[in-house]
């Protein structure tokens, strides 16, 4: 795949970017994305349940489901591939209501998440699972924003440059896991 | 009677942890290269390229192949003519895991208790240790870190003899279909057959941690491994679930004698980072 075939986009996502992405598009993301996974999602939703404001602004935010390995001295971050998105499904619709505009992870999403994505015009992208060393090269800065006690599960801002991903489910609900697999199914 | 000091065990385990997490075994790299040549899907081919590049960067920079450096699963074959001196064996293994994961900048993914507080132990201990007492005067340690993305897709199913080969095929295929992209294909699929419920699971884990090029010693089971692989690669799931003919690189089957009324089947899926490292002391 040459870089010319890849769409360059910026994060946070504006409305036009979020809705322009199509299932199967390969993209390179630059800008700022938010790192958050299981325990952080749980706390964010518990905060909403208590009627309190969130400690981070989700308006236009693109969340990356990641729990990086620790940075070696002098490095920005350790290995930083995506974790399984399905574990976040229970919390995702609530965060989409808060303005979340994009998600990066790996694996299937529940139908109710896809419905909420369509309602809010939000795409879901996949990074290559396990390619933690390769992806780390596109991460230029990692700053913990909140929930520091969660260690690798803390919420952090990540400055990225040409972060590689592929649009799996777009804001219309088209699913590349389905359309991509179908031509190769032999049974 | 050969004496092995616990300090030597701790050092060996620390080294195995770092080595296993940062260096994809050569047989896995070779398997991925072969798959890359054969994969007809352009997206699938590109992903295999990225995975090979990832493994090269990890080895070169000595950073983990995957951020999920897993729970440390250790298979220890202890020679019965070995005397372990200077402390307790399991403490030494855990000390090695602590040193490897803390000093080697590997991610600590172990929580102390599964249900209530889920507090991180902060040093990735305790390890999951499977010890066997074997003839001889050496100690063989094999460390296979296991990340949760693939581990969570494991299945244990208690079939009955009448379910037979067809029943086993279905359990394996259903597990692979349910795992899909979540378990980071191309997978290595470990299948454990027979024994009791827990024995089947241990067989599946041993199978998943085997060298890629190995096959079952019984030619009937080796042929079954091939058949299951073909079946899995017909699903179309492909690398990362984005479509293609490389859903699994290999299926390994291990079996144990079982009860006249039982046919336990366990499936343990490994992601493309099917990591393992071994040493003999």
Q: Assess B168–A contact: CB distance below 8 Å, yes or no.
A: no
Q: What is the mean pLDDT of residues B9-30?
A: 97
Residues of chain B above pLDDT 70, percent: 100
Compute the half-sphere exposure of residue B127: CA atoms within 13 Å on the CB side of its CA.
32
| pLDDT single digits (tens) B102-131 | 999 999 999 999 999 999 999 999 999 999
Residue B89 structure tokens:
């064996």
Is residue B168 within 8 Å of residue B265, measured between CB atoms? yes
The whole-number pLDDT of residue A18 equals 97
Beta-ladder partners of A164: A28
Is the pLDDT assigned to residue A2 strictly greater than 60? no
Residues 6+ apart with CB under 8 A from B203: B191, B192, B193, B194, B195, B254, B255, B256, B266
Beta-ladder partners of B269: B189
**What residues of B are in contact with residue A180 (Cβ under 8 Å)?**
41, 43, 238, 241-243
Compute the half-sphere exposure of residue A156: CA atoms within 13 Å on the CB side of its CA.
25
Is the pLDDT assigned to residue B93 strictly greater than 50? yes
Is residue B145 within 8 Å of residue A80, measured between CB atoms? no
| pLDDT single digits (tens) B36-45 | 999 999 999 9
**What residues of B are in contact with residue A84 (Cβ under 8 Å)?**
148-149, 152, 182
Of B105, B118, B245, the CB nearest to A69: B105
| pLDDT single digits (tens) A96-142 | 999 999 999 999 999 999 999 999 999 999 999 999 999 999 999 99
* Residues found in chain A: 187
Is the pLDDT assigned to residue A10 strictly greater than 70? yes
If you ran DSSP here, which 8-state letter would residue A5 be given? G
Q: Assess B61–A contact: CB distance below 8 Å, yes or no.
A: yes
Between CA A145 and CA A152, with CA A149 as vertex, the angle to 5 degrees is 75
The whole-number pLDDT of residue A5 equals 77
Is residue A103 within 8 Å of residue A65, measured between CB atoms? yes
Q: What is the mean pLDDT of residues A40-63?
A: 97
Q: Assess B246–A contact: CB distance below 8 Å, yes or no.
A: no
The per-residue pLDDT of chain B, averaged, comes to 97
Radius of gyration of chain A (CA): 16
- Count A/B contacts: CB-CB distance under 8 Å: 165
Q: What SS3 state is found at B199?
A: helix
Chain A nearest CA to B84, separation (Å): 33
Of B180, B238, B240, the CB nearest to A184: B238
Measured between alpha carbons, how far apart are the two ends of chain A, in Å? 29
Cis peptide before A72 (omega within 30 of 0): no
Three-state secondary structure string covering B86-124: CCCHHHHHHHHHHHHHHHCCCCCCCECCCCCCCCECCCC
Chain A nearest CA to B191, separation (Å): 21
Higher per-residue confidence, B149 vs A80? A80
Compare all CA atoms of chain B with the CA of A184 and give the residue at the minimum distance.
B236
The whole-number pLDDT of residue A187 equals 73
Confidence of residue B222 (pLDDT cuts 50, 70, 90): very high
Q: What is the predicted ipTM?
A: 0.92
Compare all CA atoms of chain B with the CA of A132 and give the residue at the minimum distance.
B66
Q: What is the mean pLDDT of residues B199-223?
A: 97
Residues of chain A above pLDDT 70, percent: 98
Q: How many of the other CB atoms lie within 10 Å of CB of B174?
A: 13
Calculate the alpha carbon distances from B35 to A77, A89, A181, B239 in Å.
30, 32, 17, 10
Verify whether the Cβ–Cβ distance B149 to A181 is below 8 Å. Answer: no
Q: How many Å apart are CA B233 and CA B230, to the nearest integer?
A: 5
Indicate which of B181, B239, B249, B269 best probes the interface with A, i.e. most A CBs within 10 Å of its own CB.
Answer: B181
The whole-number pLDDT of residue A4 equals 52
Confidence of residue A1 (pLDDT cuts 50, 70, 90): very low
The model scores a pTM over 0.90: yes
């Amino acid at each position: 795949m040459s870089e010319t075939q890849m769409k360059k986009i910026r994060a946070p996502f504006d409305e036009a970017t979020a809705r322009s992405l199509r299932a199967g598009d390969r993209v390179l993301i630059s800008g700022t994305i938010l790192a958050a996974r299981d325990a952080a999602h749980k706390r964010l939703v518990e905060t909403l349940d208590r009627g309190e404001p969130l400690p981070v602004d989700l308006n236009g935010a693109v969340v990356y489901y990641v729990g990086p390995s620790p940075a070696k001295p002098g490095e920005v971050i350790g290995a930083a591939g995506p974790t399984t998105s399905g574990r976040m499904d229970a919390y995702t619709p609530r965060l989409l209501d808060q303005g979340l505009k994009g998600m990066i992870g790996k694996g299937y999403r529940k139908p109710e998440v896809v419905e909420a994505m369509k309602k809010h015009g939000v795409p879901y992208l996949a990074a290559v699972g396990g390619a933690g060393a390769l992806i780390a090269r596109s991460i230029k800065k990692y700053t913990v924003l909140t929930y520091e006690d969660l260690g690798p599960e803390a919420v952090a801002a990540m400055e990225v440059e040409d972060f590689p991903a592929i649009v799996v489910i777009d804001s219309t609900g088209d699913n590349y896991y389905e359309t991509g697999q179908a031509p190769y199914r032999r049974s | 009677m050969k004496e092995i000091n616990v300090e030597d065990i701790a050092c060996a385990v620390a080294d195995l942890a770092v080595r296993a997490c940062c260096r994809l075994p050569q047989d896995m790299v070779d398997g991925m290269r072969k798959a890359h040549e054969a994969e007809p899907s352009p997206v699938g081919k590109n992903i295999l390229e990225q995975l090979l590049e990832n493994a090269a960067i990890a080895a070169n920079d000595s950073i983990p192949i995957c951020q999920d450096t897993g729970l440390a699963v250790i298979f220890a074959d202890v020679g019965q003519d070995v005397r372990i001196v200077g402390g307790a064996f399991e403490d030494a293994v855990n000390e090695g895991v602590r040193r490897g994961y803390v000093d080697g900048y590997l991610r600590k993914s172990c929580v102390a208790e599964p249900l209530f507080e889920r507090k991180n132990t902060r040093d990735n201990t305790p390890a999951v240790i499977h010890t066997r007492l074997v003839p001889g005067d050496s100690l063989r340690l094999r460390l296979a870190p296991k990340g949760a993305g693939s581990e969570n897709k494991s299945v244990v199913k208690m079939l009955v003899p009448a379910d037979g080969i067809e029943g086993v095929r279905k359990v394996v295929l259903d597990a692979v279909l349910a795992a899909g992209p979540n378990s980071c294909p191309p997978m290595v699929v470990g299948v454990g057959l027979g024994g009791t419920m827990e024995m089947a699971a241990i067989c599946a884990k041993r199978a998943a941690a085997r060298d890629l090029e190995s096959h079952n010693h019984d030619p009937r089971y080796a042929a079954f491994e091939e058949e299951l692989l073909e079946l899995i690669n017909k699903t179309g799931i492909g690398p990362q679930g984005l479509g293609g003919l490389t859903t699994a690189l290999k299926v390994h089957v291990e079996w144990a004698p079982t009860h006249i009324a039982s046919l336990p089947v366990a499936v343990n899926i490994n992601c493309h980072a099917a990591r393992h490292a071994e040493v003999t002391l």
